[in-house]
């Protein structure tokens, strides 16, 4: 169990990585990220994708973390501070009182991520131009909740390890393996190489999700609300729609991911029922 | 079509309702609410539940609203201002440049809302202690998207007409009829009186949603993430669960509403398949 290091000066150089975390979020930092809150910290400790580098905890929250602390390596720096010092360091009132700096370890390539998901018999997600951190976090939360094996991101997606995306995902972005596609990569060829059948979600999809009884491993393709997936991509895939009520054709993309992944997660019973003659 | 009224002084008394909208959000105001953005304004104009009282538009956005403006009553005050004046009035940078004050008209009682939904053959939602405006907005967006007929709220739910809830709902809180239960009201007896069968969502629900083939009109009961629905309520209802992957038993309540409403909206094909002998 690590020993606690008391900090009483917001300018202390040892906690420099925590300074002004809101602004720092915006800057890519070699696989480093900021995690906040107890639940997210628990996921970080559980993660095989990431490791804590240090913790910064409000004095009053130390007791609540006692059990978790026992699982941390002895040499992990765990800084403690009173609330005013913590707020001064973070640059805003840090009510949760729990911050950690984490680092991704051995991030998989797209090939590695797909190979592992295929070996585990899991479905995957392929995200295109998801630029909103709430949506990114919500999609990962659903990916973890319904057992997706990996998430692939195109170049126009935001960072799943941005602080807010981690928080909205309830730590799922630290658990579900993800990889960013190289510029110009042929995502569909890559999915095909690992045996994933693409299901492209679109309001104008040819097939209705509820009627779908897909066999084998699926790759769920999701684009940003509004523009959606590119016509070029849709032309090469099986397109699927979720029917909406008249006059309100608007579904959040994270909610869409939950509906699709739930449908896929329960398709075995659906197949049993759906294969009967009507 | 209304004529435009130019405002060049942020202190102009005619636009007092728009002053410091962030703080005002927090105060109940006799059925008045603030709507922002073009899409939400369109829903407000379409709404039978609410009416615009006035608009405040950035000069640069007037042209984009020309078509919508034609549908507004001649006597509706439409104020215009340049961006600095608008920001000064609102109290923050109002990038969307479109604000409206709306008012609920003839809000239904719970009985009226259920009677109308029953007559239309629609399912309804009953929300308990949904205190987060993002979740409230997300639930209404799904209610509108999947054609729910009404939303009932208990006393511990936040206001669906809070500015952020309206925005997240993409205006759905202006379209789906809702009513707040009186203190001590027996919600289940009320649902029963109008022929709605309660489906209570709970992580420990007795039945799996995917296996459910409900007949007739349903009332979907949702509680806040974490505490969930009360044990007393669960004991009196059919309880339903959404199975999650091992190690990540966490589903957002708005996403849950989308999954359940999608399942119900597509149950007719499911019934056809599920009623066959296996």
The CATH number of domain B110-274 is 3.40.1280.10: yes
d(CA B141, CA A122): 30
pLDDT in tens, A62-112: 999 999 999 999 999 999 999 999 999 988 888 889 999 999 999 999 999
- Asked whether residue B28 carries a pLDDT value surpassing 60, the answer given is no
| Domain spans, chain B | 4-104, 110-274
**Tally of CB atoms within 10 A around A261:** 25
Kind and range of the H or E element at A175? none
- Asked whether residue A270 carries a pLDDT value surpassing 80, the answer given is no
Question: How much is the mean pLDDT over chain A?
Answer: 91
Domain A4-104 is in which class? alpha beta
Of B142, B244, B270, the CB nearest to A255: B142
The tokens for A53 are: 């580098």
- The number of C-beta contacts closer than 8 angstroms across A and B is 113
The DSSP code for B37 is S
All residues at 6 or more sequence positions from A26 whose CB lies less than 8 Å from its CB, including other chains: none
pLDDT in tens, A115-141: 999 999 999 999 999 999 999 999 999
Burial B166-202 (b: 16+ CB within 10 A, else e): bbbbbbbbbbbbbbbbeeeeebbebbeebebebbbbb
Mean pLDDT across the stretch A181-190? 94
When pLDDT is cut at 50, 70 and 90, the band that residue B267 belongs to is confident
All residues at 6 or more sequence positions from B106 whose CB lies less than 8 Å from its CB, including other chains: none
Q: What's the pLDDT score for residue B181?
A: 97
C-beta of residue B223 within 8 angstroms of C-beta of residue B135: no
CA of B259: which chain A residue's CA is closest? A259
d(CA B221, CA B228): 10
Burial B12-41 (b: 16+ CB within 10 A, else e): beebebbbebeebbeeeeeebbbbbbeebb
The tokens for B218 are: 């349903």
C-beta of residue B100 within 8 angstroms of C-beta of residue B41: yes
Q: What's the pLDDT score for residue B20?
A: 82
When pLDDT is cut at 50, 70 and 90, the band that residue B271 belongs to is very low
Q: What's the pLDDT score for residue A173?
A: 97
B81 has which bridge partners?
Answer: B58
Closest listed residue to residue B136, CA positions, set B104, B176, B96 = B176
Q: Among A258, A264, A271, which would you mutate to test the B interface (most chain B Cβ atoms within 10 Å of its Cβ)? A: A258
Mean pLDDT across the stretch A30-45? 91
- Report ipTM (2 d.p.): 0.93
d(CA B74, CA A226): 32
Nearest C-alpha of chain B: how many angstroms from A262?
7
Residues of chain A found within 8 Å of residue B209, distances taken between Cβ atoms:
262, 266
CA B223, B226, B231, B235 dihedral sign is: positive
Highest mean pLDDT of the ranges A223-237, B81-95, B148-162: B148-162
Of A141, A208, A254, the CB nearest to B250: A141
Q: What's the pLDDT score for residue A269?
A: 59
A210 and B262 within 8 Å at the Cβ level: the answer is: yes
Chain A positions contacting chain B at CB under 8 Å are 46, 134, 138, 141-142, 144-147, 170, 172, 175, 208-211, 242-252, 254-256, 258-259, 262, 265-266, 269-270, 272-274, 276-278
A147 torsion bin: left (phi>0), alpha (psi -120 to 50), beta (else): left
Highest mean pLDDT of the ranges A27-41, B25-39, B239-253: B239-253
Closest listed residue to residue A134, CA positions, set A65, A32, A224, A31 = A224
Chain B positions contacting chain A at CB under 8 Å are 46, 134, 138, 141-142, 144-147, 170, 172, 175, 208-211, 242-252, 254-256, 258-259, 262, 265-266, 269-270, 272-274, 276-278
Q: Among A250, A264, A272, which would you mutate to test the B interface (most chain B Cβ atoms within 10 Å of its Cβ)? A: A250
Nearest C-alpha of chain A: how many angstroms from B81?
29
B250 and A144 within 8 Å at the Cβ level: the answer is: yes
Q: Among B42, B258, B278, which would you mutate to test the A interface (most chain A Cβ atoms within 10 Å of its Cβ)? A: B258
C-beta of residue B261 within 8 angstroms of C-beta of residue A244: no
Residues of chain A found within 8 Å of residue B255, distances taken between Cβ atoms:
138, 141-142, 254-255, 258
A278 and B278 within 8 Å at the Cβ level: the answer is: no
Least confident of A8-22, A233-247, B20-34: B20-34
Residues of chain B found within 8 Å of residue A201, distances taken between Cβ atoms:
none
Mean pLDDT across the stretch B174-184? 95
Closest listed residue to residue A221, CA positions, set A261, A278, A175 = A261
Residue B196: C-alpha distances to residues A176, A209, A230, B113 (Å)? 39, 27, 42, 12
Q: What's the pLDDT score for residue B226?
A: 86
- Angle among Cα A153, A154, A159 to the nearest 5 degrees reads 55
Nearest C-alpha of chain A: how many angstroms from B123?
13
Nearest C-alpha of chain A: how many angstroms from B42?
12
């Amino acid at each position: 169990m690590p020993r606690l290091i008391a900090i009483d000066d917001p300018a202390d150089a040892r906690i420099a990585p925590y300074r002004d975390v809101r602004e720092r979020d915006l800057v890519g930092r070699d696989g480093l990220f900021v995690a906040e809150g107890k639940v997210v910290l628990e996921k970080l400790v559980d993660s095989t994708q990431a490791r804590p580098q240090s913790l910064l905890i409000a004095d009053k929250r130390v007791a609540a973390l006692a059990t978790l602390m026992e699982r941390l390596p002895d040499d992990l720096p765990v800084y403690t501070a009173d609330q005013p010092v913590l707020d001064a360091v973070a640059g805003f009132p840090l009510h949760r009182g729990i911050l950690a700096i984490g680092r991704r370890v051995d991030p998989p390539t797209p090939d590695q991520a797909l190979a592992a998901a295929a070996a585990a018999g899991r479905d995957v997600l392929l995200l295109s131009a998801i630029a909103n951190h709430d949506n990114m976090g919500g999609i990962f939360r659903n990916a973890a909740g319904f057992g997706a094996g990996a998430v692939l991101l195109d170049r126009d997606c935001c960072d799943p390890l941005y602080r807010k995306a981690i928080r909205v995902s309830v730590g799922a972005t630290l658990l579900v393996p993800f990889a960013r596609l190289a510029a110009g990569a042929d995502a569909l060829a890559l999915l095909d190489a690992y045996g994933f059948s693409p299901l492209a979600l679109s309001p104008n999809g040819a097939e209705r999700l509820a009627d779908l009884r897909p066999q084998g491993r699926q790759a769920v393709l999701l684009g940003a609300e509004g523009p959606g997936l590119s016509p070029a991509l849709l032309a090469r895939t099986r397109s699927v729609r979720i029917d909406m009520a008249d006059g309100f054709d608007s579904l959040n993309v994270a909610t869409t991911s939950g509906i699709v992944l739930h449908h896929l997660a329960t398709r075995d019973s659906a197949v049993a029922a759906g294969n009967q003659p009507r």
